[in-house]
Amino acid sequence: MVTARARDEGQAFPIYVVAVTGLLFAAFAFVVVGMAGATRSDAQGAADAAALAAAQEARDNAFEGMNLLTLTQGDWEEILRGGRLVAVGACAKADTFAAMNDATATCEPNTPEFTVSVTTIGTVGDSVIPGSEAIHGKAEATAVIEPRCSLKPGATPTPSAKPSPTPSSTPPPGGGDAGTPPSVEFRCKGGVALTFDPTKPGSMTQLARKLFSVRLTD
């Protein structure tokens, strides 16, 4: 009887070993899945940051090289539609932000949108899953520049040479001499009114941030 019991225990032991080994492998595999998810999350965070950085760079430089005193109402309308946005320097900014997040980036500018694909420099790492040490996180994100304001009708007549005003004449809204464009009036989201004097521009980056918002697309 003792011999029979020992024989049964001897037969059960290999089954027990196999079961424990299977459970351990499943546990390690579960950990690898978690590591892969974390790497993918890191990649998505890097892609989001890089895409936003590219769009923000283009937005902040929306008025680069423009002669504000010569802009007509049609010019301002085109600017607000995003027709004057350029991508110079935007993708370089995306590369910088991707590197800050331990990733490399590929940027595709199509103003007013910027699509950035990133690959993490780090990998999932060594594990019980073959090849995991060569798996990099990859993700893509698109950021878009959107207008926040519209031009008030008739706010910016075409600049043109005019005779000097007589003493009874009313100076233009911009406060300049004849021929100087008047202040530009915008209507922005939330019912906010914005007035801009092209003769006293101030920070053009701040103006661009008031006129345009940047967001990630779905």
pLDDT in tens, 117-140: 999 887 755 444 544 456 778 899
pLDDT at 12 (0 to 100):
56
Alpha-carbon distance of 133 to 39, in angstroms, equals: 12
**CA distances (Å), origin 16, targets 11, 19, 180:** 9, 5, 91
How many CB atoms neighbour CB 87 within 10 A? 19
Rounded to two decimals, the pTM is: 0.70
- Rounded to 10 degrees, the C-alpha dihedral 184/187/190/194 comes to 10
CA pair distance 64, 205, nearest whole angstrom: 9
Residue 48 predicted with pLDDT over 50: yes
pLDDT in tens, 16-38: 555 555 444 444 444 444 555 56
Distances (CA, A) of 161 to 16, 132, 165: 96, 71, 12
- pLDDT band with cut points at 50, 70 and 90 for residue 181: low
The mean pLDDT of the chain is 77
Contact 110, 130 (CB under 8 A): no
Contacts by residues 126-129 (CB-CB < 8 Å, ≥ 24 positions apart):
127/28, 127/31, 127/32, 127/35, 128/25, 128/28, 128/29, 128/32, 129/29, 129/32
Tell me the domain boundaries of the chain.
13-123+133-216
Tell me the pLDDT tens digit for each residue of 70-97.
Answer: 999 899 999 999 999 999 999 999 999 9
Beta-carbon count within 10 A of 187 CB: 16
- 155-159 LR contacts (CB < 8 Å, sep 24+): 155/73, 155/76, 155/182, 155/183, 155/184, 155/185, 155/186, 156/71, 156/72, 156/73, 156/76, 156/181, 156/182, 156/184, 157/72, 157/73, 157/181, 157/182, 158/72, 158/73, 159/69, 159/70, 159/72
Whether 206 has a pLDDT exceeding 60, the answer reads: yes
